């Protein structure tokens, strides 16, 4: 989208009129499975290839998207010495080797420098250069800011915050002009905002707004400047440049529902004067068709003028004011059938996102949060209900002001005198030393927290660790955000 746009995140699916994918029940539990993952018998790109619509780009930081893929998924760079490490899979067709990242990044911080294309076409994503809307290059995602699990195996997504984005302007095989393509992405359906533009898909090759129809990307978010759907959002829409579309007309489409599954499947398909949006729960069930019909009834979209670059977390002109989390996604050549998209959805569900382990979306856990170094509890001082009150550590005594609930949306809530507030990164801060306070819950990313298997609690927006200031252990020591470095003052347990 262009500079004036403020779209949200797009989730689009293919031409699905009667999805027939098998519903796969989401697994439960809280134990990280040791040992290598077993190879999949089929990946999403095997399904697309067998249907004659092969992947021409396949990106994931969590798993292999082909049953035979044994290469690298992504690369990380650590701050301590600027060295890099490629993160591969534990076995062909398997899950990301997250343990390698944990070891490499221990005691320092890491960013994701490159996301490799598994299709063999070399369409790798790196930090986005300057564009018409924003100077660049963009920032890189903090490598441990979006922890997740797949069938109990630890992995990390790509946490996009404002100013972060990835791109490839010199691609191979991506659809151009009015040629057909299909796109899907697995996203965190509870990490979004109303900025421009959390996109994944086809964009301009010169990083500028080149007019109507020069893009075709999945968008996800809750902006209403262009198109929007039912409820308060977020919605899956298509970013076709100079418009986020939920249907044939600019503006409202009652059939495009609010979609906020913790793990959300979003798909967009497009061909000659025909396109579709589909979406669903990436943990269970089948796809729904949110739109299927002709191109927007505004000049410039029929025929399309796609240019074939690939973007992640930004708009076509490098508009980068968004929040979102990406786990996997592909682009194909050709318009996938309903049965193909149904099979892909079943494959995503079978991957077991969020099953086992402890992640930001686990939710439902209530108790005290103990600081490992001191044994004291995370405490809302004097059971305050005043927004902006900084939290501290204090002797555990079982009071409501020390009882925290990790919700399904990743919030840490505390209820005092009948008022429920959220643990909050003050002022949406994302730098070392940001104060941690209580604030009325508002659904923003600075109130979402990942409780990780390594004992840290990280901000979903910043990727920084919940940190006891100065490593002190006394009652009343305040809490801040700080770069994760492995110290005991950043270790916590939720009982």
Q: Active-site positions?
A: 241, 317
CA distance 240 to 472: 52
Nearest alpha carbon to residue 198 among 51, 466, 1, 372: 1
Phi/psi of residue 144, nearest 5 degrees: -110, 20
* Burial degree of 349 (CB within 10 A; 0-12, 13-18, 19+): buried
CA distance 487 to 364: 27
Beta bridge partner(s), residue 492? 371
CA distance 252 to 161: 27
CA distance 494 to 455: 9
Strands 181-187 and 492-494: unpaired
* Burial degree of 459 (CB within 10 A; 0-12, 13-18, 19+): buried
Nearest alpha carbon to residue 402 among 371, 434, 379, 374: 379
What tokens appear for 352 in the block? 């077991």
């Amino acid at each position: 989208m262009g500079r004036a746009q403020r779209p949200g995140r797009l989730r689009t699916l293919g031409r699905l009129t009667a999805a027939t994918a098998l519903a796969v029940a989401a697994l439960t539990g809280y134990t990280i499975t040791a040992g290598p993952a077993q190879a999949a018998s089929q990946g999403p790109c095997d399904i697309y290839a067998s249907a004659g619509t092969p992947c021409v780009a396949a990106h994931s930081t969590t798993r292999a998207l082909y049953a035979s893929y044994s290469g690298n998924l992504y690369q990380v760079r650590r701050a301590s010495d600027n060295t890099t490490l490629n993160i591969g899979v534990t076995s062909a067709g398997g899950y990301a080797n997250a343990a390698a990242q944990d070891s490499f990044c221990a005691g320092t911080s890491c960013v994701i420098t490159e996301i490799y294309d598994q299709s063999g076409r070399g369409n790798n994503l790196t930090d986005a250069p300057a564009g018409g809307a924003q100077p660049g290059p963009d920032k890189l995602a903090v490598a441990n800011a979006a922890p997740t699990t797949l069938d109990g195996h630890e992995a990390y997504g790509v946490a996009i915050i404002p100013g972060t984005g990835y791109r490839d302007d010199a691609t191979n095989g991506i659809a151009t002009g009015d040629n057909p393509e299909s796109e899907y992405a697995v996203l965190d359906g509870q990490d979004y905002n109303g900025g421009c533009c959390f996109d994944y898909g086809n964009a301009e090759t010169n990083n500028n707004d080149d007019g109507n129809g020069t893009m075709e990307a999945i968008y996800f978010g809750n902006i209403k400047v262009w198109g929007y759907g039912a409820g308060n959002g977020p919605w899956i829409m298509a970013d076709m440049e100079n418009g986020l579309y939920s249907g044939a007309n600019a503006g409202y489409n009652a059939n495009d529902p609010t979609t906020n599954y913790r793990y959300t499947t979003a798909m967009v398909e497009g061909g000659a004067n025909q396109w579709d949006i589909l979406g669903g729960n990436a943990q269970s069930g089948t796809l729904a068709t949110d739109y299927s019909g002709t191109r927007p009834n505004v000049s410039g979209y029929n025929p399309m003028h796609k240019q074939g670059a690939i973007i992640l977390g930004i708009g076509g002109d490098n508009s980068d004011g968004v929040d979102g989390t990406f786990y996997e996604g592909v682009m194909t050549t050709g318009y996938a059938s309903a049965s193909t998209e149904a099979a892909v959805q079943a494959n995503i569900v079978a991957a077991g996102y969020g099953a086992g382990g402890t992640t930001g979306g686990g939710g439902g856990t209530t108790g005290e949060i103990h600081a490992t170094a001191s044994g004291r509890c995370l405490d809302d001082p004097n059971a305050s209900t005043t927004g902006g009150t900084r939290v501290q550590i204090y002797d555990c005594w079982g009071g409501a002001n020390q009882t925290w609930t990790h919700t399904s949306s990743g919030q840490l809530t505390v209820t005092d005198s009948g008022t429920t507030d959220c643990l909050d990164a003050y002022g949406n801060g994302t730098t070392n030393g940001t104060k941690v306070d209580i604030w009325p819950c508002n659904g923003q990313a600075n109130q979402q927290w990942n409780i990780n298997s390594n004992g840290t609690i990280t901000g979903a927006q910043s990727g920084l660790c919940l940190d006891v200031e100065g490593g002190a252990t006394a009652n009343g020591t305040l809490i801040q955000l700080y770069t994760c470095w492995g110290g005991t003052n950043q270790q916590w347990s939720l009982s």
